Structures are given as structure tokens and as C-alpha cells.
Amino acid sequence: MQVLPFTIPKPKPDALILQEDKEQSFYNLLHQHQEFQISLIISGEGALIVGDTINYYKAGDLIVLGSNLPHVFKSALSKSTESHMLTVFFSKESFGHDFFNIEELKSLQFFFKKAENGFKIVSKKSNVFLLFKQFFKASKLDRFILFFTLLKSINQSEYVTLSNFISSKKYSDNEGRRMSAVFEYTMSNFQREITLTDIAKEASMTKNAFCKYFKKRTNKTYVTFLNELRIEESCKLLRSRKELSIAEIAMLSGFQNISNFNRKFKLGKHKIPSEYRKQDML
């Protein structure tokens, strides 16, 4: 397992780092980096863990991740769909110390505050996407100008937060290996039963020590995290696999019985699966 922190290769002396990922899957190990990250998903879909929270990404999403915010993109592998993402990385020191604290840029402080927990925009998408794509084709001077127009547009868009809780303590290398192993095992095996003994073994800890460690790191129990992952998977299946019954989706998402699935789903989404599917079809 690759460990944290992760260093973004920087072509000196550029202030902004542009990256295009075009592979079968994105970099899929838990990592964090000093730079802020703004990513536009061109194609592909999959799970996205940010901090303590399971999300899903798809083509057309624009995602903003803050400095040293642990995250991992777990692409849903498909022979017919290529994973394609455009990303710009930058830091608060990219243009000089205290640059973003000048009076003219004070309105962007809200952008940085939102980025601490990560967010995804849900309005003004067409305008932001156009700016983002222009950004990758522009000269360095035009790119500098477009960058602040892009930040302004993103800052004024409606958004959804990607994580509920972020630990103030950065991961050490050992913690990086441990949490990477936990997330990788969970995301690869959530469709079957995972006991606390199983997952504690992946973290090289006793069961009691692991439970305390995971709760301290994510502000939730491992069982809660596992159920959230399963619920998000079931939401994806409810939207995309109309031919499957609710019971079949429950089993494919890792729930052993339909009643437990309905109860956990309603707890997380405030409606039962059939209501969620019906609403999505409207």
C-alpha cells in the first residue's frame, strides 16, 4: 500500500499544476496532499471517499478538495468506459505568501472554508465547465486570469459538502498504510459479510484497539461506515438497474436480509428504497 502524504509533481516554476488523468481507473489509494484540488470528471464513475464519508462521482461532476484532505477515487471498472479527469492543483502560497488574504480576494475565504470538507457544485454547471475546459487550453497569462474567474464562479455556485468530519491531525506514514488497507479491503469486500475481527486484522490491530482508532479518526464506528458504503452502492443500483428487485439490490449491496436493508436505508436516506427509486424515475 502506498502511504501518505502524496506529493503532486510540480513543473517549476508554474504556480498552477494541471493534470489530465485518462486511464481505466484513477489513482485508487487513500492519499492527501498539501495542494487544493479542483477536478472535472469527463467520463467514468465510482466511489469517492472524502474524510469520513462515502460519496459517488460520475461524468459531469466538479469536485473541490481542500489541503491535506484524505480522499480516494475508486473507479467502477468497465471495459466500455474510460476514466477521464481534468484537475488543477494549487496552494494558498502559489502566488506568494498571504496573496489570498489581500482585500480584493477576501470574498474567496468562503471557498477555502468549504474546501476543508470537500464539496461538489450543483448549480451553474455549464458556465463552470466551460471555464474549466478553456483553462486547459489557455496561455499561461490567460490561465492566470481565468483561474480567478473560475474560483469566483465555483464560489457562487450551490454545492453539497462531501465530508462531515475531518480530523485535525494529519496521517503519519504508518496511519496512511493502515487506513489505506482498511478502505481498500472494505471497498473490495463490502458485498459479503465483514466482521470486526476481519477488518481489525487488515489494520494489524486487535478488535478493540481498531474500533477505538477508527472512531477517533472518522468520528463514526466502522459498522456505520460500512453501512453507509452499502447504502450508497444500493442507491447507485436503484438508479441504474431498474430490472433488479429491491431484494436483489439488498443482496448485491451486502445486506443479508430485506428488512435490515429497508431499516438502514430509511435511516440514512429518510425514505425506503422503493420511494427512492420512484422519486428518481420522476
Whether 2 maps to a domain, the answer reads: no
Backbone angles phi, psi at 259, to 5 degrees: -65, -40
What DSSP character marks residue 244?
S
Number of domains making up the chain: 2
Same domain, 60 and 118: yes
Q: Inform me whether the pLDDT recorded for 15 exceeds 70.
A: yes
CATH of the domain at 110: 2.60.120.280
2 is written with which cell numbers? 502506498
Instruction: Specify if 169 maps to a domain.
Output: no
Residue type, 67: S
Asked if pLDDT for residue 2 goes beyond 60, the answer is no
Residue 123, pLDDT above cutoff 90:
no
Same domain assignment for residues 131 and 194: no
User: Is the pTM higher than 0.85?
Assistant: no
Which residues make beta-bridge pairs with 215? none
Backbone angles phi, psi at 121, to 5 degrees: -80, 150
Contact 5, 170 (CB under 8 A): yes
Residues 23 and 90 in one domain: yes
Of 161, 178, 204, the residue that ends a domain is 161
Instruction: Find the domain containing 213 and state its range.
Output: 190-281
Kindly state whether residues 128 and 262 are assigned to the same domain.
no
Same domain, 133 and 201: no
Integer Cα distance of 173 and 77 in angstroms:
28
Check whether residue 31 and residue 137 sit in a common domain: yes
Give pLDDT tens digits for 47-76: 898 988 888 899 999 999 999 888 888 887
Residue 80 lies in a domain: yes
Residues 6+ apart with CB under 8 A from 231: 253, 264, 265, 268, 269
Q: Name 230's Cβ contacts closer than 8 Å, sequence gap at least 6.
A: 190, 253, 254, 255, 264
Q: Is residue 97 domain-shared with residue 149, that is, in the same domain?
A: yes
pLDDT tens-place string over residues 19-49 = 999 887 787 778 888 899 999 999 988 889 8
Q: What angle do CA 30, 36, 41 make, to 5 degrees?
A: 70
| CATH for 194 | 1.10.10.60
130 with 213, same domain: the answer is no
Instruction: Specify the pLDDT at position 1.
Output: 29
Task: List, in sequence order, every beta strand (DSSP E) within the chain.
Answer: 17-23, 36-43, 46-50, 53-57, 62-65, 71-75, 83-90, 119-121, 159-161
What is the per-residue pLDDT across 176-224, written as a single tens digit (0 to 9) for each? 778 888 988 998 899 999 999 999 999 999 999 999 999 988 889 999 9
Same domain, 68 and 121: yes
Residue 173 in this model has a pLDDT that exceeds 60:
yes
Higher pLDDT, 52 or 238: 238
